[in-house]
Structure 1
């Protein structure tokens, strides 16, 4: 069977939009350096397409009200240098599925409720405002996990064979998050 040239050309043109959108995406490695823009703090993050949300290592997490609005106060669980509390408006509460080893039959809950805040995060040359849930990740190698929802905001392609492909965060001090 042979395809007529016109039909072949039409098939190629149909495939081009998918190819062009892939070339517009930034390629990131499995791990990247990020800057928590609001806190002027740089750290290493793990990019995880299997996780939906981003998670930041925090301890002593407390919810409270400020002017009738829900807020959260926490300390970064990154290293001993972060001794001052951080306060941010509470965006929402996220329900994270528990893994089999994390399930407690006495509690009868298959999820963990975590507070979520919004943060401006710079990765490579892109500054994005993303939602980050707060949990103690001090047992993990990377204090920040960036999940699929945040990766969509960065229009990211993740190549797990690469590390630190975007280099050092390069957002300027006067940058605003991309829309």
Structure 2
């Protein structure tokens, strides 16, 4: 079988209220929930599964993103960005599609920007957006700063704001201890549901 040669571009826009697919209810637990220092998360708008590390040293959560570009929409500041799955091959793959061929493109309104001081490198200004995600069977919403995490082990960091707002405790000695799972879709379903065009040898299939 011929190898897929062109990148698969999956475009997901922020849907109007009421237009999103149903997801688990977002509720703040009355009793703290304990999670491991690494857990699976699923980005709700796409069904993409990624590994997330709990980072008590960071206030704001962080999401791997490249080609971040600002634009105007309805007189508001928005950003578009890409998540290339070749950088983090967490999402289950079956069939003929490889992670290297899949790029997810997202658009979100900008909540704010933050200036990150980095040791031995110039300070970096990052865009912060709101994202819905599922962890341990429950949906949450929190702020994510967008940055290239291609050289790091985890595409997602979840910071103290998420832990505080959603009553989360962290077991730093264990990972993947969540009792419930979040539903994700396969790589092939991800491409199909978001209208991706698969190309073989430069020609549309």
TM-score by length of 1: 0.73
Tell me if the contact between 2:131 and 2:142 (Cα under 8 Å) persists in the aligned partners: yes
CA RMSD of superposed structures (Å)? 2.1
Other-structure match for 2:136: 124
Other-structure match for 1:88: 108
1:125: how far off?
2.4
How many correspondences in the alignment? 143
1:167: how far off?
4.8
Other-structure match for 1:38: 45
State which structure, 1 or 2, has the greater radius of gyration over its C-alpha atoms. Answer: 1
Match of 2:172 among 160, 164, 174: 160
Match of 2:156 among 144, 148, 154: 144
State the alpha-carbon separation in 1 of the partners of residues 84 and 54 from structure 2: 19
Other-structure match for 2:96: none
Deviations 1:39-96 (A, max 9, x none): 2111111101011111101000000001211110010144234324211111111222
State the alpha-carbon separation in 2 of the partners of residues 160 and 50 from structure 1: 13
1:168: how far off?
5.6
- Relative distance call for 1:76 and 1:144 in structure 2 (3 A) is same
State the alpha-carbon separation in 1 of the partners of residues 140 and 41 from structure 2: 11
Structure 2, unpaired ranges of 5+: 1-29, 87-99, 185-205
What SS is found at the alignment partner of 1:24? coil
State the alpha-carbon separation in 2 of the partners of residues 84 and 27 from structure 1: 30
Asked which structure has the greater RCO (Cα within 8 Å, sep 6+), the reply is 2
State the alpha-carbon separation in 1 of the partners of residues 159 and 120 from structure 2: 21
State the alpha-carbon separation in 2 of the partners of residues 25 and 84 from structure 1: 33
Q: Which has the higher helix share?
A: 1
Structure 1, unpaired ranges of 5+: 1-22, 105-110, 173-179
The answer on 1:69 being equivalent to 2:89 is no
Other-structure match for 2:120: 101
- Relative distance call for 1:167 and 1:28 in structure 2 (3 A) is same
